[in-house]
Amino acid sequence: MLRYKRILAVLIFSVVWFALAFAPIVSYGQDQPSREAEGARLLHGAIDMHLHMDPPLADGTHDEAVIETIRIARARKMRGVVLKSHHEPTSTLAYQLRLEIPDIDIFGGIVMNRSNGGMNVDAIDYMATGIYGAPGKVVWMPAYDSEIESNPPYPKKPFVAVSRDGKLLPETKAVIAAIAKYHLILASGHIAPEEALMVFKEGRTQGIQHMIATHAMDLAGKMNMDQMLQAAKLGAIIDFDFRDMFDEGGIRADAIRKIGPERCLVSEFWTQKSPRVYADPAGVGKFVEAMHARGFTDRELDIMFKENPARLLGLPPQ
């Protein structure tokens, strides 16, 4: 009897040891793909339509993307980036970076801010026709120098006017005509929502095919739901910032669900704000998990990160 008890004890010990020893292997095989894998999958072929490369301010503060950031994007197998600076055109920079960093599509644009000449049709003409390969694709309405960001509660300063007394100014319509002429992308920048809707209506009237409501729920020019739905109805793609998607209880993700992913995009893939980290697969994977938890599918994420940006830029589907 004692002998049988010893044998039974050995058998129990063996079973327990085997279960403990191999449990990690078994559970790993049953887990969902790792967070890093989820992030890497979404980044593969993604396009960031709003990557700031403004230089630091004179005191060294306000860091944005640098050349190494573009190399990181390429290493993550992203398809492309659109470079933005508030105060300088970025199309020449895009051309130079294309030479140094091949195998990723790099585009630029211009913001209708004061340092760029305000509502400057000549600058748009040059961007569209004067640079080899035509890397300039986006024209943003004033941002930082918009009227709404140049008056209280913001510091009062000179601004670039878009409208007056509820009507677009002639120079605004001339800029929109140039965007239409060269088949560029019209983006709202940081203007007031009411102005953005006027701009989109004029853009549609003049035959512009591609429009973006920039940072639609952020900054001074943030839109409410009715305004975003109006912008989408006029043909604009509604832009959301990756970094704050889940701030305020995730109201931006909720907005995307109401608007529909087919009319939205996500930009600025900063996965850590300070110090800045760009397109870290684990950070993007965390974003994916959170979007999955809200019912978004991989297909819907691909539409916003890959398909809509590619269509705006005139790139073929992959």
For residue 166, is it left (φ>0), alpha (ψ between -120 and 50) or beta?
left
> What pLDDT does residue 162 have?
98
* The two structure tokens encoding residue 101: 């960093």
Residues 141 and 115 sit within 8 Å (Cβ to Cβ): no
Cα–Cα distance for residue pair 39/280, rounded to 1 Å: 8
Residue-wise pLDDT tens for the chain (318 aa)? Answer: 434 444 344 344 343 333 333 333 222 233 446 899 999 999 999 999 999 999 888 988 888 999 999 999 999 999 999 999 999 999 999 999 999 999 999 999 999 999 999 999 999 999 999 999 999 999 999 999 999 999 999 999 999 999 999 999 999 999 999 999 999 999 999 999 999 999 999 999 999 999 999 999 998 889 999 999 999 999 999 999 999 999 999 999 999 999 999 999 999 999 998 889 999 999 999 999 999 999 999 999 999 999 999 999 999 988
What does the angle CA 99 – CA 104 – CA 110 come to, to the nearest 5 degrees?
Answer: 75
Cα–Cα distance for residue pair 48/46, rounded to 1 Å: 7
Residues 200 and 166 sit within 8 Å (Cβ to Cβ): no
pTM: 0.88
Helices then strands, each counted (H, E), the chain: 12, 12
Cα–Cα distance for residue pair 135/138, rounded to 1 Å: 9
Q: What's the distance, CA 128 to chain centroid? A: 23
> What pLDDT does residue 33 have?
67
Query: What are the tens digits of pLDDT across the range 24-48?
Result: 322 223 344 689 999 999 999 999 9
Query: What are the tens digits of pLDDT across the range 80-125?
Result: 999 999 999 999 999 999 999 999 999 999 999 999 999 999 999 9
* The two structure tokens encoding residue 28: 């790993």
Of residues 56, 47, 52, 123, the one with CA closest to residue 86: 52
Domains of the chain and any CATH numbers: 46-54+61-313 (3.20.20.140)
> What pLDDT does residue 26 have?
28
Cα–Cα distance for residue pair 20/145, rounded to 1 Å: 63
Of residues 257, 260, 281, the one with CA closest to residue 271: 281
Q: What are phi and psi of 92, to 5 degrees?
A: -65, -40
* The two structure tokens encoding residue 236: 């604009």
> What pLDDT does residue 12 have?
40
> What pLDDT does residue 220 have?
81
* The two structure tokens encoding residue 155: 């510091």
Cα–Cα distance for residue pair 102/95, rounded to 1 Å: 11
CA atoms within 13 A on the CB side of 30: 6
What does the angle CA 282 – CA 287 – CA 292 come to, to the nearest 5 degrees?
Answer: 120
Place of tokens 């640098």: 66
> What pLDDT does residue 219 have?
85
- CA dihedral over 255, 154, 54, 159, signed as positive or negative: positive
* The two structure tokens encoding residue 260: 């529909």
